[in-house]
Amino acid sequence: MADVYELVKEIEEDLKETVKDVSFNEEIETVPTGIDLFDTILGGGIPVGKLILITGSPGGGKTSLAASAIASLHRNYPNSLALYLDAEQSMSKNRLAELGVDTDRAILISQDLTVEKVSQIIVRAAAYRENKKYKGITDPFFVVWDSESATMTTKQLEATDDPSKVVGQKSNMLSLTIPKLVNIANKYKMTFIVISQLRDKISMNPYAGSSPDLKGLGDKRITGGNVMRFHPFQIVYMKPKEDIDIDAYGFSGVVSEIKLVKNKLFRPNIKINIVLDYIHGYNDFWTRENLIRQSKCIKGTAWQYLDNCPDIKFRKSEILNLYNTNELFRAKFDELYIKCKDDLLKSSVLDTSVIEESIEDDITDEPFTEQEVSSI
């Protein structure tokens, strides 16, 4: 009797012999970010060889998240390297070092970046993967593009007299460039982390209404055209939620709300909060503490206690020191965090139509309107 499993195996072996330069049953390597809650909803960490889009409101911590991803890469892989393409000219080597990046293994490129130059830089950097001298260096390679929204094409830079002549030109160029770069990423273990700004979706028809690019983005659209929605392996949406009280926590920062509105490693649209320390970057302990607190498992006001450890009282500013010095408290804290994380995942409701419907129905190839030209 014919065996379907044997048939599948035979077809696979035949295709491997006849079709070259493609991957079969690819296992996706991930780089942990060091923020356990974020790694969980990512599906293990930042995927290697993929395009990741980080978008959202100003002040949400997009740049810090991208830099922290490089820092995590350097911690986990001794022979890893990174490029930081700073089109916004808002990054420095000192700031990268503060966020934990090994600046001797990171190249910061800024000033006069265009879409054409970004593509050229990435292609030339990838070529070193073929260099016999460096064949033994196979650790992942991260490229951060900060940001796509701030990067113009050469023609857009030169169109000083009539900007309407280049309407849609950047989107057309990206539609040709991004698929090429995605293939390079997969072949050479390069991860592209692209930062993008959201903008209001403008319609010339007052009766048409407005639909978002992806469910969860509200009345906003991602810049760069359809290619920036279709090709990312994951889309991370961020916005600032609340400021950190320096008197209560001992540092200044912000709580960022994160949702993966597109995710091919784990189910999308799980909303979490992560805590950003403005000096040192994202903090795993305070992210865990925030989840426990938001789950109402820290009781009390001036003197507080854990729901599962009522005998140990503390003030909010003392909880980190207590965690580091008291073994019982640390064990109870970790136990409570795991419970709160499991409860969060169980309570997250997945709308199975989120990605397919929003991409197919909500996104169009409509040209930019005159009002949008100035923001291209």
243-288 pLDDT tens trace: 998 887 889 999 999 999 999 999 999 999 999 999 999 999 999 9
User: What is the CATH number for 279?
Assistant: 3.40.50.300
Query: What is the four-CA torsion angle of 331, 336, 342, 343, rounded to 10 degrees?
Result: 170
Rounded to the nearest angstrom, the gap between the alpha carbon of residue 246 and the centroid of all alpha carbons in its chain is: 27
Query: 208-213 contacts: CB < 8 A, separation 24 or more?
Result: 211/361, 211/362, 212/358, 212/362, 213/358, 213/362, 213/363
Least Cα distance to 284 among 237, 247, 334 occurs for: 334
> How many residues in total does the chain contain?
376
More confident residue, 322 or 358: 322
pLDDT of residue 215: 56
Q: Is the pLDDT of residue 21 over 80?
A: no
Number of domains forming the structure of the chain: 1
Kindly state whether residue 309 falls inside one of the protein's structural domains: no
> Tokens for 43?
């599906």
Residue 74 belongs to domain spanning: 28-284
Query: What is the four-CA torsion angle of 311, 314, 316, 322, rounded to 10 degrees?
Result: -100
Q: Is the pLDDT of residue 242 over 80?
A: yes
Kindly state whether residue 243 falls inside one of the protein's structural domains: yes
Element of type H or E holding 64: helix 62-76
Least Cα distance to 234 among 270, 202, 260, 272 occurs for: 260
Q: Is the pLDDT of residue 90 over 50?
A: yes
For residue 242, the SS3 value is strand
Q: Is the pLDDT of residue 127 over 60?
A: yes
* Tens digits of residue pLDDT in 303-344: 999 999 999 999 988 999 999 999 999 999 999 999 999 999
Query: What is the four-CA torsion angle of 180, 181, 184, 185, rounded to 10 degrees?
Result: -140
Query: What is the four-CA torsion angle of 156, 161, 165, 167, rounded to 10 degrees?
Result: 50
Kindly state whether residue 311 falls inside one of the protein's structural domains: no
User: Distance between CA atoms of 373 and 363, rounded to whole angstroms?
Assistant: 19
> Tokens for 134?
């460096």
Least confident of 2-16, 77-91, 287-301: 2-16
pTM: 0.86
Kindly state whether residue 350 falls inside one of the protein's structural domains: no
Contact present, 293 and 268 (Cβ < 8 Å): no
Q: Is the pLDDT of residue 373 over 80?
A: no
> Tokens for 362?
């909500």
pLDDT of residue 224: 79
